[in-house]
Chain A
Amino acid sequence: MSTAAAGHHEHDHDDHGPAKGWTRWLFTTNHKDIGTLYLWFSLVMFFIGGGMALIIRAELFQPGLQLVDPLFFNSMTTMHALVMIFGVVMPAFVGLANWMIPMMIGGPDMALPRLNNWSFWIMPFAFTLLLSTLFMEGGGPAGGWTLYAPLSLQGPDSFAFVIFAIHFMGISSVMGSINIVATIFNMRAPGMTLMQMPLFVWTWLITAYLLIAVIPVLAGAVTMLLTDRFFGTSFFNAAGGGDPVMYQHIFWFFGHPEVYILILPAFGIISSIIPTFARKPLFGYASMVYATGSIAFLSFIVWAHHMFTVGMPLAGEMFFMFATMMISVPTGVKVFNWIATMWRGSMTFETPMLFAIGFLVMFTIGGLSGLMLAITPADIQYHDTYFVVAHFHYVLVPGAIYSIMAATYYWLPKWTGNMYDEKWGKIHFWVSTVFLNVLFFPMHFVGLAGMPRRIPDYSMQFADWNAVATIGAFGFGFSQLIFVWVVLKCVKGGEKATDEVWEGAEGLEWTVPSPAPYHTFEKPPAQFS
Chain B
Amino acid sequence: MSDLQRDHKLVSGKLVLLALGMFAFGYVVMPPLYRVICDITGLNGRTNSVAAANPEGQAVEDRTVTVEFVSVVNSSAAWTFTPTQRTMEVIPGKTYKAFYTAVNNTGRPAVGKAVPSVAPSSAAKYFNKIECFCFTKQEFEVAATKEMPLIFFVEPDLPRGIDTITLSYTYFDTGETPVDLTDS
Contact among B4, B22, B44 with A212 in the assembled complex (CB-CB below 8 Å): B22
Known: A216-B26, A239-B173. 5 other contacts (CB 8 A): A181-B15, A216-B19, A219-B26, A239-B172, A243-B38
Q: Mark A203-237, 1 if CB is under 8 A from B, else 0.
A: 00000000011111111110110000000000100
Q: Is the CB of A216 within 8 A of B20?
A: yes
Bound Cα distance A316, B121 (Å): 12
B53 at interface by CB-CB < 8 Å: no
Min CB gap A124→B, angstroms: 22
Bound Cα distance A141, B37 (Å): 32
Q: Mark B14-32, 1 if CB is under 8 A from A, else 0.
A: 0110111111111100110
B158 at interface by CB-CB < 8 Å: no
Min CB gap A20→B, angstroms: 28
Q: Which residues of A contact B7 (CB under 8 A)?
A: 182, 185-186
- Could you list some 23 contacts between A and B, CB below 8 A? A112-B12, A154-B75, A179-B12, A181-B12, A182-B11, A185-B7, A186-B4, A186-B8, A186-B11, A212-B22, A213-B22, A215-B22, A216-B21, A216-B22, A217-B26, A218-B26, A220-B25, A220-B26, A238-B115, A243-B44, A249-B30, A253-B30, A313-B41
A positions within 8 Å CB-CB of B: 111-112, 154, 174, 177-179, 181-182, 185-187, 212-221, 223-224, 235, 238-243, 245-246, 249-250, 253-254, 310-314, 316
Q: Which residues of A contact B145 (CB under 8 A)?
A: none
Q: Which residues of A contact B30 (CB under 8 A)?
A: 217, 220, 246, 249-250, 253
B130 at interface by CB-CB < 8 Å: no
Q: Is the CB of B22 within 8 A of A214?
A: yes
Q: Is the CB of A312 within 8 A of B26?
A: no
B71 at interface by CB-CB < 8 Å: no
Q: Which residues of A contact B45 (CB under 8 A)?
A: 311
Q: Mark B71-106, 1 if CB is under 8 A from A, else 0.
A: 000110000000000000000000000000000000
Contact among A218, A223, A239, A249 with B74 in the assembled complex (CB-CB below 8 Å): A239
Q: Which residues of B contact A239 (CB under 8 A)?
A: 74, 113, 115, 172-174
Min CB gap B124→A, angstroms: 10
Q: Which residues of B contact A253 (CB under 8 A)?
A: 26, 30
Bound Cα distance A214, B41 (Å): 26
Q: With A215-B19, A220-B26 in contact, do A243 and B11 touch (Cβ < 8 Å)?
A: no
Bound Cα distance A254, B30 (Å): 12
B138 at interface by CB-CB < 8 Å: no
Q: Is the CB of A314 within 8 A of B12?
A: no
Which 10 residue pairs across A and B have the least CB separation, nearest first? A220-B26, A239-B172, A220-B27, A216-B23, A217-B26, A216-B22, A182-B11, A178-B15, A238-B115, A186-B7
Q: Is the CB of A245 within 8 A of B44?
A: yes
Q: With A217-B26, A311-B44, A311-B121 in contact, do A238 and B12 touch (Cβ < 8 Å)?
A: no
Min CB gap B109→A, angstroms: 17
Q: Which residues of A contact B65 (CB under 8 A)?
A: none
Q: Is the CB of A249 within 8 A of B34?
A: yes
Min CB gap A2→B, angstroms: 30
Across the interface, name the chain A residue whose C-beta is closest to B171.
A239
Min CB gap B174→A, angstroms: 6
Bound Cα distance A253, B7 (Å): 31
Q: Which residues of B contact A214 (CB under 8 A)?
A: 22
Bound Cα distance A239, B79 (Å): 14
Bound Cα distance A458, B115 (Å): 34
Which residues between 27 and 82 of chain B lie within 8 Å of chain A, taking CB atoms? 27, 30-31, 34-35, 38, 41, 43-45, 49, 74-75
Q: Is the CB of A250 within 8 A of B26?
A: yes
Q: Which residues of A contact B120 (CB under 8 A)?
A: 311
Q: Is the CB of B12 within 8 A of A178?
A: yes
Q: Which residues of A contact B113 (CB under 8 A)?
A: 239
Q: Which residues of A contact B44 (CB under 8 A)?
A: 243, 245, 310-311
Q: Is the CB of A177 within 8 A of B115?
A: no
